């Protein structure tokens, strides 16, 4: 299978914090590394490297029984010590003990979602040698050229069974234009494309594969609101943004507009946060301000979609009488941020969003939807973030690619994908 990707990772280690946390990165990681627990298409936890797990009363001490006869790609067995070492690398504060054919994890506070936490890609089990990584996934790393190319080979001893594909060749750092040309010329079988490319990409013989909205795009303020005027200014800015036009024109109706942190398919209530533009009210709030300082906004300059969104936000804000200015400064007033959810668990997802938006950690009174709503609403009331869109993970498939399924979080299941003859 020949794959082209927009990302250009310099490391395949799923815990490496220097690598952008994107769906595409997780898709690569999922081919090589397994987690103890995984999530099925309905969002339910399923056994992976752990066949059973159990929590003591209070949910502070968890025991995970490891799948037997699993080997890393280098041939070494999946021992509890290796699992513990891998998890400690990703979670230095956890207390992890090997115990016969299991590992025991102790947390300082009750952790009812620990199993779901272990389903996150960052908690994949990795055996780290001096200069090589080994996993237990369906494919093993054959060669890796940082930021450019990756060759994966089928893991003959995969605990889930040998994948259909023998090898996967991944070219990194490709633009959407490169991907489309490569697909049209038959040089690529699969490409992860930007959502704003989808309309153009779906022409011809290409097949589009779209996930649930899993990527949140939002404006994040660097600092908390300092005064009532500051709050009014942020309200005016939020009200001035015409999300619908951006979705309609730039995203070509893919993805969702949102004023919520969690996507509708996870929370089920995101519609209660209005996301429509209200320019009169925005102007009114602006008029109530004695003066509105010029706000600086930063975005990833290598991301064309982010650039267009930022410019549109600037134009919308101008219509409301606000002045925004782009900046490359490290300390802008606003930052356009993209977050790819790595969990379907609402509490964990909200925690991930809060963490990556630098919001206060959400507090949940219970695991109920009301408690999640309260926590999300509190995060939004802080006015540190203006959610804009939820975008799906989007892949273009060549005509001979068969049986590609996406997980809830947009990860393609290439272990069960196979290549057939192109249609005549």
d(CA 257, CA 248): 10
Closest separation between CB of residue 242 and other proteins, Å? 8
Pick 250 or 396: Cβ nearer other proteins: 250
Provide, rounded to whole angstroms, the least separation between the CB of residue 314 and other proteins: 5
Q: Which of 265, 318, 317, 325 is nearest to 299 (CA)?
A: 325
In the bound state with other proteins, the residue whose beta carbon lies nearer, of 245 and 358, is 245
For residues 344 and 39, the answer to whether their CB atoms sit within 8 Å is yes
Are the C-beta atoms of residues 388 and 258 closer than 8 Å to each other?
yes
CB-based contacts of 11, cutoff 8 Å, min separation 6: 18, 19, 146
Tell me how crowded residue 20 is: count the other CB atoms within 10 A of its CB.
12
Neighbours of 8 (CB within 10 A): 15
Residue 117, token pair as written in the block: 């936490």
The closest alpha carbon to 257, from 195, 203, 175, belongs to: 195
- Comparing CB distances to other proteins, the nearer of 59 and 307 is 307
Binding residue for other proteins, selected from 250, 262, 341, 396, defined by CB under 8 A:
250
Task: Tell me how many residues contact other proteins (CB under 8 A).
Answer: 19
Residue whose CB is less far from other proteins, 145 or 329: 329
Least distance in angstroms from the C-beta of 184 to other proteins: 17
Select from 39-47, 270-278, 302-310, 415-423 the region that touches other proteins (CB under 8 A).
302-310
Distance CA(254)–CA(195), nearest Å, equals 7
Instruction: Write each residue from 252 to 291 as x if it is in contact with other proteins (CB under 8 A), else as -, in one continuous string.
Output: xx--------------------------------------
Residue 132 engages other proteins in binding (rule: CB under 8 A) = no
CB nearer to other proteins: pick between 14 and 255: 255
| Pairwise CA distance, residues 207 & 406, whole Å | 14
Q: Which residues pair with 215 in a beta bridge?
A: 340, 391
Minimum Å gap between C-beta 263 and other proteins is 22
Applying CB under 8 A, the span of 38-46, 60-68, 249-257, 285-293 interacting with other proteins comes to 249-257
Give min distance, CB of 320 to other proteins, in A.
14
317/349 with CB nearer other proteins: 317
Please tell me the distance from the alpha carbon of residue 31 to that of residue 35, in angstroms, as a whole number: 11
Q: Considering beta carbons, is residue 252 or 382 the nearer one to other proteins?
A: 252
Question: Per CB under 8 A, which region of 23-31, 63-71, 106-114, 243-251 contacts other proteins?
Answer: 243-251
Q: Which is nearer to other proteins, 37 or 251 (CB)?
A: 251
Answer left, alpha or beta for residue 390, where phi above 0 means left and psi between -120 and 50 means alpha: beta
Nearest approach in angstroms of CB 323 to other proteins is 9
Between 199 and 365, name the residue whose CB sits nearer to other proteins: 199
Stretch that binds other proteins, among 251-259, 333-341, 394-402, 411-419 (CB under 8 A): 251-259
Residues 303-362 that bind other proteins (CB under 8 A): 308-312, 314-315, 324-326
Q: What are phi and psi of 34, to 5 degrees?
A: -110, 155
Question: Of 176 and 351, which CB lies nearer to other proteins in the complex structure?
Answer: 176
Residues 147-206 that bind other proteins (CB under 8 A): 199-200
In the complex, the smallest distance separating the C-beta of residue 312 from other proteins, rounded to whole angstroms, is 4
One of 44, 249, 272, 287 touching other proteins (CB under 8 A)? 249
In the bound state with other proteins, the residue whose beta carbon lies nearer, of 139 and 305, is 305
Q: Tell which one of 60, 245, 382, 400 touches other proteins (CB under 8 A).
A: 245
Does residue 109 contact residue 65 with C-beta atoms inside 8 Å?
no
**Smallest separation (angstroms) from other proteins to the CB of 278:** 17
- Binding stretches for other proteins (CB under 8 A): 199-200, 245, 248-253, 308-312, 314-315, 324-326
């Amino acid at each position: 299978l020949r794959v082209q990707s927009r990302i250009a990772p310099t490391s395949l280690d799923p815990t490496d914090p220097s690598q952008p946390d994107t769906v595409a990165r997780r898709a690569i990681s999922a081919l090589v590394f397994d987690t103890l627990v995984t999530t099925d298409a309905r969002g339910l936890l399923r056994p992976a490297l752990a066949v059973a797990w159990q929590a003591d009363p209070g949910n502070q001490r968890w025991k995970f029984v490891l799948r037997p006869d699993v080997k890393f790609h280098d041939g070494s067995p999946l021992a509890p010590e290796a699992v513990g070492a891998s998890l400690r690398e990703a979670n230095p504060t956890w207390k992890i003990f090997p115990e016969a054919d299991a590992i025991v994890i102790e947390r300082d506070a009750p952790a009812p979602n620990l199993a779901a936490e272990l389903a996150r890609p960052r908690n994949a089990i990795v055996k780290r040698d001096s200069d090589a990584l080994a996993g237990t996934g369906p494919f093993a790393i054959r060669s890796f050229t940082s930021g450019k190319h990756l060759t994966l080979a089928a893991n003959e001893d995969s605990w889930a069974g040998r994948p259909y594909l023998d090898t996967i060749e991944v070219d990194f750092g490709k633009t959407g234009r490169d991907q489309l040309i490569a697909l049209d010329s038959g040089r690529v079988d699969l490409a992860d494309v930007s959502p704003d490319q989808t309309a153009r990409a779906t022409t011809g013989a290409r097949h589009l594969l779209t996930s649930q909205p899993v990527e949140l795009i939002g404006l994040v303020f660097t600092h908390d609101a300092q005064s009532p005027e500051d709050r009014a200014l942020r309200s005016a800015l939020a009200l001035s943004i015409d999300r619908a036009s951006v979705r309609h024109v730039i995203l070509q109706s893919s993805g969702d507009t949102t004023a919520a942190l969690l996507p509708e398919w996870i929370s089920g209530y995101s519609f209660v946060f209005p996301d429509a533009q209200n320019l009169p009210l925005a102007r009114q709030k602006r008029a109530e301000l004695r003066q509105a300082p010029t706000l600086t906004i930063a975005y990833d300059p290598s991301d064309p979609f982010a650039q267009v969104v930022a410019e549109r936000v600037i134009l919308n804000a101008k219509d409301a009488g606000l002045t925004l200015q782009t900046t490359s400064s490290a300390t802008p007033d606003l930052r356009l941020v993209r977050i790819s959810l790595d969990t379907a668990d609402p509490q964990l997802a909200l925690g991930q969003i809060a963490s990556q938006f630098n919001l206060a950690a959400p507090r949940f009174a219970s695991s109920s939807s009301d408690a999640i709503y309260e926590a999300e609403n509190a995060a939004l009331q802080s006015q540190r973030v203006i959610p804009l869109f939820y975008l799906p993970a989007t892949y273009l498939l060549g005509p001979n690619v068969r049986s590609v399924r996406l997980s809830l979080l947009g990860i393609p299941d290439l272990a069960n994908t196979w290549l057939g003859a192109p249609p005549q």
